[in-house]
Amino acid sequence: MIYTALDTFYVSEEQLKASPSRKDGVAEETETMLRLYGCELIQESGILLRLPQAVMATGQVLFHRFYCKKSFTRFNVKRVAASCVWLAAKLEESPRKIRDVLSVFHRMECRRENYPLVLLDTTSKAYEEMKVDLIRTERHLLKEMGFICHVEHPHKFVLNYLLQLKAPLELIQEGWNLANDSLRTTLCVRFKSEVVACGVVYAAARRFRYPLPENPPWWLIFQADKAEIDVVCKVLALLYQQPKAHYVDVSKGSKSFVLSSSSWDPPPDVQGKITVNGTTAGAVLVPSVAAIVSADTKDEAPPMADPKGEIVAEKPAIDGEGVEKTKEKDEKDREKERERDARRDRDREERRDREKSRDRERDRDRERDRHKDRSHRKDSRRDYTGYSSDKSRYHSSRSSDRHRHH
């Protein structure tokens, strides 16, 4: 059974084979491909956001942990990868704005799917939906992990072990590279970081043909098991035999967890006509549909279809009436957005005028207080010198006359 402790999170090989994705009908090869794809997104986005390597490593570990408890069919891999980057950046004290994270993932998707490279409109309704989706997914991540997100990486152990073994710099660099690559696999949720570090050291030494102590065996010094080290090396070897990772759409179209931006949905091979609940619209104009089924020009059954039969791909066509309705709706949305902006600007101007009026009143009060204070000090000074009253002046004049007569 999966258990969570303060140091890390572990599952067994049997539990991985019975993961929620497998129970939902996702093949082992597909799950492995989606894990690789999500880790590549996290690594690439971290580089574009200029994050330290610790953030990317933490994000990949959180990604693997989450999909040990949840299925790829219910949570979109791109959305979860973005949430892992955003959460890991905060955990490693290198936070980034949600706008920057969404913009980077939007650009990566455009480049990967050969979309036009356009900036993400941060004033659009689609952007607001993506932002809400990202925050919601972060809550799911924290909830599934019980808010225990402590991660211990194998990198520090790799450096420590190789320095104790007096390895050359090339071997240390190779061990660091293998430690980074190990995060693309499920080793981080199967073994402790010390065991993964020993496997990385062994694989790097074998690649460089660097002899390791055998009397006594070097892995006993680091309290590791030889069988576990062999498993780590085998997983790393299988990783380098995998083809280039690509996106595979296995989602069931859960509307509450699918981003509405078209750049986040898998692109259709053919921009065909889509029928949703009896309503026809162009494929390009329905960006919120999670699963777009491609169909060629022949009268063949589509390769994929929604289990409920709500989404059906047909021959390429464009419905003029649907286009007009969509344009009218977009125009209304833009008009509402402009009215909202104008109202916001008016409120801002009114607040600014009220603040200026309060500042003027405050300045007048301060000037009045300064004037009163000066008058009070002046009166006090006259009383102190003895020339403020008639009696004082009279006595002073008689005294002066007396001195003159004498």
Q: Are residues 113 and 81 in the same domain?
A: yes
The whole-number pLDDT of residue 321 equals: 62
Q: How many alpha carbons lie under 13 Å from residue 50 in its C-beta half-sphere?
A: 2
Q: Tokens in use for 370?
A: 């300064």
Q: Does residue 395 fall inside a structural domain?
A: no
How far is 399 from 242, CA to CA, in rounded Å? Answer: 116
Residue 223, judged by CB atoms within 10 A of its CB (0-12, 13-18, 19+), counts as exposed
Residue with tokens 């300045």: 363
How far is 39 from 55, CA to CA, in rounded Å? Answer: 12
Q: Does residue 75 fall inside a structural domain?
A: yes
Q: Are residues 206 and 112 in the same domain?
A: no
Residue 282 sits at φ, ψ, to 5 deg, of -70, 150
Q: Are residues 13 and 138 in the same domain?
A: yes
Q: Are residues 47 and 126 in the same domain?
A: yes
Q: Does residue 308 fall inside a structural domain?
A: no
Closest CA to 94 of 59, 146, 134: 59
Question: What is the side-by-side strand order in the sheet with 279-282?
Answer: 279-282, 273-276, 311-313
User: DSSP labels for 43-60?
Assistant: HHHHHHTT--HHHHHHHH
The whole-number pLDDT of residue 396 equals: 47
Residue 90 CB partners (closer than 8 Å, separation 6+): none
Question: Among the three residues 239, 268, 301, which one is the final residue of a domain in this structure?
Answer: 239
Question: Among the three residues 224, 239, 254, which one is the final residue of a domain in this structure?
Answer: 239
The answer to whether 74 touches 252, Cβ cutoff 8 Å, is yes
Q: Are residues 10 and 117 in the same domain?
A: yes
Question: Among the three residues 87, 110, 144, which one is the final residue of a domain in this structure?
Answer: 144
DSSP-derived 3-state class of residue 166:
coil
Q: Are residues 40 and 132 in the same domain?
A: yes
Torsion, Cα of 30, 141, 306, 266 (10° steps)? -70
Q: Does residue 288 fall inside a structural domain?
A: no
The answer to whether 287 touches 126, Cβ cutoff 8 Å, is yes
User: β-strand 311-313 against 279-282: which pairing, if any?
Assistant: unpaired
Q: Are residues 136 and 38 in the same domain?
A: yes
How far is 227 from 225, CA to CA, in rounded Å? Answer: 6
Q: Are residues 112 and 207 in the same domain?
A: no
The whole-number pLDDT of residue 385 equals: 54
Closest CA to 195 of 151, 231, 165, 164: 231
Write out residues in the chain with pLDDT < 50, as ranges. 1-5, 254-318, 388-397, 406
- Report CA 374 to chain centroid distance, whole Å: 60
The whole-number pLDDT of residue 351 equals: 85
Q: Does residue 15 fall inside a structural domain?
A: yes
How far is 140 from 106, CA to CA, in rounded Å? Answer: 22
Closest CA to 284 of 274, 276, 294, 293: 274
Q: Does residue 255 fall inside a structural domain?
A: no
Over residues 301-327, the pLDDT tens digits come to 334 434 444 433 444 444 556 666 677
Q: Does residue 315 fall inside a structural domain?
A: no
Q: Are residues 30 and 121 in the same domain?
A: yes
How far is 189 from 130, CA to CA, in rounded Å? Answer: 29
Q: Are residues 136 and 11 in the same domain?
A: yes
Residue with tokens 């104790």: 164
Q: Are residues 59 and 176 in the same domain?
A: no
The answer to whether 253 touches 286, Cβ cutoff 8 Å, is no
Q: Does residue 72 fall inside a structural domain?
A: yes
The whole-number pLDDT of residue 89 equals: 95
**Does a cis peptide bond (omega within 30 degrees of 0) precede residue 243?**
no
Q: Which amino acid is at 46?
A: G
Q: Tokens in use for 360?
A: 């003027």
Q: Are residues 91 and 170 in the same domain?
A: no
How far is 297 from 187, CA to CA, in rounded Å? Answer: 45
State the total domains in the chain: 3
Residue 114 DSSP code: T
CATH number, position 164: 1.10.472.10
Give the residue numbers spanning the domain of 342: 321-386
The whole-number pLDDT of residue 372 equals: 81
The whole-number pLDDT of residue 256 equals: 31
Q: Tokens in use for 65?
A: 């942990």
